[in-house]
Amino acid sequence: MTDELAVLGIECFAHHGVLDFERRDGQVFLIDLLLGFDTRSAAASDDLRDTVDYGSLVTSVKAAVESDPVDLIETLVQRIADVCLLDERVEWCRVTVHKPDAPIDATYSDVALTITRNREGR
């Protein structure tokens, strides 16, 4: 059994995409994280060292998103999942990358990819 921690709507500005202008001009990406881990020891100790520090995690995720442009959202979302699983307490993570300004010639509200990864299947 695991508990779940959600951090939603992490705003990042990055230069990912297949098209030249996406790489040149950049755009906003929104990241949602859902992490599964046991929070009982942290609840008992009331000590930040006994839990996943979501402030530090968000800083690491932003750095991963805002560096090294890639073509595909699939590559980016896997990169973020790998960052989430660096903390050995995290048993699994569900990561969603929203690309609200994707270059699509139609009216739409969002483009998003969600993946779930666990420690064993990284």
Residues with active-site annotation: 99
Closest CA to 68 of 53, 54, 82: 82
Separation CA 54–CA 39 (nearest Å) = 13
Closest CA to 84 of 74, 94, 76, 75: 94
Separation CA 68–CA 83 (nearest Å) = 14
